Amino acid sequence: MTTLCLPGEATLGVIGGGQLGRMFVQAAQSLGFRTVVLDPDAASPAGCVAHEHICADYLDTAALDRLAGQCCAVTTEFENVPAQALERLALASVVAPAVAAVAICQDRAAEKAHFAASGVACAPYALITSAADVQAVGDALLPGILKSTRMGYDGKGQVRVRSRAELAAGWAALNSVPCVLEQMLPLKMELSVISARSAAGEIVQFPVQQNLHLDGILAVTQVPAPGVSAALQAEACASAARIAASMNYVGVLCVEFFVLQDDSLVVNEMAPRPHNSGHYTLDACDVSQFDLQVRAMAGLRLRQPRLHSPVVMLNLLGDLWFDVAGSLRTPPWDQVLALPGTHLHLYGKADARAGRKMGHLNITAASAPEAERLARCAAALLGLATEW
């Protein structure tokens, strides 16, 4: 089902009320769309800024019908939304991305099979669903990373294993759910590519992003990606485009890649939504990833984004709200914002917790070295690691 949703007339919906939904709502509202959020949390970040917040469970059929009945199109802000919810919404409204594409992204085994079908290399892996699979694993896959096929994100649902004994223990620690064991590869860096694709097959992409993860959570994104050749960036963009096209994808898709020590490229995983590594687009590009999410789902023409400023994005976790003694504090935003080119985005979450994504800071400048220098100054003020 495709349609054209016109700014100033139509209503757009999102299932999920986190920070990605919040930034989607703000982008949609800037174009004049009315917005509706479905989320069970009465204080959800997106629900607090939408025109209407339907506070209900994701599988509440009456709530889903109410959302679909109001909206020209509906999207999701997280990939683990129940498939039944998207199927219900699709009976009465455009859903982008479609259920089939989201289902691939919800399951690591299906995701890896899709990468192979798209002709994009990923790390060697084995599917683990039984004790026999553990014993049958080839020696070449160890040491490796064992990941649950479903519900894993930000380093959750995975464990590093060096031997068959550790593999068996790791699988038990993950409650013996279906998993994939990926060979641990010699990594040089991590990249991501954010694409937006329309129902007509039109695709546009942001510049390649270089990412640093700490404890499985994104910490720093730099654009332009330092030290990455034009050829490697082109390969990453072409691979991401193939992956999106082969799913007949509609919306914003993030594909993450590993660059190995020999400068070869392998795909890691994908997210069927805007991504933490693309938050820099809010301040460094002429259109953001959320603007393109709105355009794609509304059936509007996409526009090739332009990077107008080199940028560094710092992820802000709840740890920053606690001092060394564990007492709550307010981070020194006044000092951070006194630095030129700083753009603070807080997500409206009431409670800070260790590891919880509370916001991000974009630092733009006339040159990449200057953006990096200022980012290190901001990181030092906040007590973040400055070595990247």
* CATH number for the domain that contains residue 256: 3.30.470.20
Mean pLDDT of the chain: 95
Domain match, 62 and 137 both: no
Torsion of CA 73, 79, 80, 84, to 10 degrees: 30
Is the pLDDT assigned to residue 1 strictly greater than 60? no
pLDDT band at 240 (very low <50, low <70, confident <90, very high): very high
Domain match, 244 and 128 both: no
Is 335 part of any domain? yes
Is 387 part of any domain? no
- What is the C-alpha to C-alpha distance for residues 136 and 345, in angstroms, rounded to an integer? 48
Over range 268-277, report the average pLDDT: 96
Over range 21-36, report the average pLDDT: 98
Domain match, 136 and 55 both: no
Is 101 part of any domain? no
So what's the pLDDT on residue 350?
87
Domain match, 331 and 368 both: yes
Over range 330-335, report the average pLDDT: 97
Over range 182-186, report the average pLDDT: 94
Query: Domain of 78?
Result: 11-95
Is 100 part of any domain? no
Over range 361-365, report the average pLDDT: 98
pLDDT tens per residue, range 294-322: 999 999 999 999 999 999 999 999 999 99
Which of 165, 183, 201 finishes a domain? 183
DSSP 206-262: PPPEEEEEETTEEEEEEES-TT--HHHHHHHHHHHHHHHHHTT--EEEEEEEEEETT
Domain match, 135 and 251 both: no
Over range 335-351, report the average pLDDT: 97
Which of 245, 244, 266, 264 lies closest to 254 in space, CA to CA?
244
Domain match, 284 and 319 both: yes
What's 74's domain CATH number? 3.40.50.20
pLDDT band at 233 (very low <50, low <70, confident <90, very high): very high
Domain match, 174 and 197 both: no
Domain match, 176 and 194 both: no
Is 348 part of any domain? yes
Is the pLDDT assigned to residue 120 strictly greater than 80? yes
pLDDT above 90: percentage of residues in the chain: 90
Which of 132, 163, 183 finishes a domain? 183
- What is the C-alpha to C-alpha distance for residues 238 and 235, in angstroms, rounded to an integer? 5
Is the pLDDT assigned to residue 151 strictly greater than 80? no
Domain match, 210 and 331 both: yes
So what's the pLDDT on residue 155?
61
Look-up of token digits 């023409």: 301
What's 139's domain CATH number? 3.30.1490.20
pLDDT tens per residue, range 286-295: 999 999 999 9
pLDDT tens per residue, range 212-221: 999 889 999 9
Is the pLDDT assigned to residue 152 strictly greater than 80? no
Is 106 part of any domain? no
| Phi–psi pair at 231, nearest 5 degrees | -65, -40
Is 230 part of any domain? yes
pLDDT above 70: percentage of residues in the chain: 98
Domain match, 246 and 358 both: yes
What is the CA 353 to chain-centroid distance, rounded?
20
Which of 133, 154, 183 finishes a domain? 183
Domain match, 195 and 342 both: yes
Cis peptide, bond prior to residue 272, ω within 30 of zero: no
Domain match, 152 and 213 both: no
So what's the pLDDT on residue 387?
77
pLDDT band at 153 (very low <50, low <70, confident <90, very high): low
* Domain count of the fold of the chain: 3
Q: Is 234 exposed, middle or buried (0-12, 13-18, 19+ CB in 10 A)?
A: exposed
Is 107 part of any domain? no
